[in-house]
Amino acid sequence: MKYMMLKLLTVFLILLCSHTYAEWTNVICAKPDGSKWYWLKDSNGNQVTASGLWSAAYLRSSSTEYIDAFNIGDETYNKISSQCNNSYVAQPAKSTFSSWAVFQVTKFDGTSYLAPGKFVIYRDRNCFMSPVNCQLQSR
């Protein structure tokens, strides 16, 4: 009996740990310069969400400059971005008041790229400094 409980506890912990790293974000569609945006909604009027991971995407390998990025797969990004109006790009957003961030899209071969959109450059990850607004040009 004790051995069976230990097995069940182990399986539960493995399942719990395998899901703790997944995060969700809402999706907005925005002009690349951030001048206009709207919440992306499905056919039932619910906000569209995406599953992935928030991370810091460093702009240069030896730099401390980074932007907030939400990592998702290429297939998911294409599905989401195709729902935005012309001249708008899909971007992740935690809330109405969150800072600008972009999707970091991972392709099937394991390579990744930053999707176009407005973002904020942070100069030091260990403190809150005044961000510099910037925009990533469309590819």
User: Which residues, in sequence order, are CB contacts of 41 under 8 Å at separation 6+?
Assistant: 47, 48
Given this model, what pLDDT does residue 135 score? 52
pLDDT tier at 60, thresholds 50, 70, 90: confident
User: CA nearest 119: which of 101, 98, 92, 94?
Assistant: 101
pLDDT at 8: 41
**pLDDT, tens digit, 9 for 90 and up, residues 2-34:** 555 445 444 344 443 334 457 999 999 999 999
Asked if residue 91 has pLDDT above 90, the reply is yes
- Going from N- to C-terminal start, the domains of the chain cover 22-136
pLDDT digits (tens, 9 = 90+) for 47-58: 999 999 999 888
